[in-house]
Structures are given as structure tokens and as C-alpha cells.
Amino acid sequence: MQDGLLLQEGVIMMIDVWLYGEIASYSGNTDAGAYAHLEMEMTPGSTMRDVLSRLCIPAAERGPTFINSALSAMSGLQPDLGHVLADNDRIGIFSAVSMWPYQYRFGAKMTPELAAALKKLPGGGLHHAYDAEG
């Protein structure tokens, strides 16, 4: 009841969070298994950094990340930390061992921040793995 009231007043927003692989253990359930699904309450204006911070996920352990099905980060290239989230956004966070080779993602949707970061890299970021912080 109280949550509903807070939602109505715009005091909190709901973020749909999916954690895959070893990252799932940061859901608070250390025996989470292959994945974890959380509904997180965040204050409006919260960013990806805030979500990672709340879940205590270290940057080095985070792999490919999605915001509303748009790729927002890869291991070593994480320009999405300041991305401001909206109510009902869906986030998918993978462990660093996960992967998305280039030929299976060229032409896929990505966030403007990631597109800009890739554009700055030689060859437009045509790589499978990145080792420099974007």
C-alpha cells in the first residue's frame, strides 16, 4: 500500500533487473543459480551506477549489459554508468565471462552512449573484447 503511494507520487520507480551467470549471486541470494530476477525500487533520476552500487557489483565483474534490449556496455567498455533510468526500465547484466562476438551484434540496437564510445575506437569498435575503459 505504501509502495503504491510512493509510486503514485513519483518518489520511487521500479526497475526490472535480470542478472545472469555468476553475477546472479549479487541478487542477495548466494545460491541463486543460473540467473536472478529482481524488481528494484529506485528513486527517480537513478543511474546505472546507482543500480550497480546498490547490488555491490564490481565493474571488473560486469560483462555485456542491456537497457531495454539496447546494448549499453561490454567488459572493459562501460559508458553507461551515468545513464539515467526510467520507471519500468529493464536491465540485463551479465558476468564478465559472457560474450557477444561482433558478427552476431553488428546492426543490433545499442544505447547512444555506447554507440558514441565505439565510434571513438579504431575501426568503430570492431572487436570482440575491449580492454580499455570507455
Partner 1 sequence: MRKILRINMMDRSFQFEDVPKAYHDLGGRGLTSTIVSNEVKPTVHPLGPHNKIVFAPGIVTGTAASTSGRVSVGAKSPLTGTIKESNAGSQFPQDLARMGIKAIIIEGYQQDDKYWLIHIKWDEKAKAPKVAFFPADEYLDRGLYEVFPEIFARFGNKVSISGIGIAGERRYLNSGVVFNDTDGRPSRYSGRGGLGAVLGSKGVKFIVTDRTGAPAVPLQDKGIFEQGRKKLVDALRNHPITKPGGGLNTLGTAVLVNIINEAGGLPTHNFREGRFEGAAKISGEAMAQLVKERGGGRMGHPCHPGCIIQCSNIIPKPDGSELVSVIEYETTWAFGANCGIDSLDTIGELTRMTNDFGMDTIEMGGTIAIAMEAGLAEFGDGQKAIELMKEVGKGTPLGRLLGNGATLAGKALGVIRVPSVKGQNMPAYEPRAIKGIGVTYATSTMGADHTSGYTIAPENLASGGQSDPLSLEGKADLSRTFQEATAFIDSTGHCLFIAFAILDIPTGFEGVMEECNGVLGTNWTVDDAIRIGTEILKIERAFNESAGFTKADDRLPEFMYYEKLPPHNVAFDIPDEELDSVYGKM
By C-beta, is 59 or 129 nearer to partner 1? 129
CB of 117 to partner 1, least distance (A): 11
Alpha-carbon Rg for the chain, nearest whole angstrom, is 15
Do 81 and 124 meet the contact criterion of CB atoms below 8 Å apart? no
Of 47 and 98, nearer to partner 1 (C-beta) is: 98
Which residue type occupies 49? R
Determine, following the binding rule CB under 8 A, whether residue 6 of this chain makes contact with partner 1.
no
DSSP 3-state of 99 = coil
Question: Strand pairing of 62-67 and 90-95?
Answer: antiparallel
- Number of residues binding to partner 1, judged by CB under 8 A: 40
Does 124 participate in binding partner 1 (rule CB under 8 A)?
yes
Residue nearer to partner 1 on the CB measure, 4 or 107:
107
* Displacement of CA 37 from its chain's centroid (Å): 13
End-to-end, the C-alpha distance of the chain in Å comes to: 42
Q: How far is the CB of 22 from partner 1 (least distance, A)?
A: 9
Q: How far apart are the C-alpha atoms of 107 and 48, rounded to whole Å?
A: 24
Site for partner 1 in 62-121 (CB under 8 A): 64, 66, 68-69, 71, 75, 92, 94, 96-109, 115, 118-119
Question: Interface with partner 1 by CB under 8 A: which residues?
Answer: 18, 20-21, 24, 33-35, 64, 66, 68-69, 71, 75, 92, 94, 96-109, 115, 118-119, 122-129
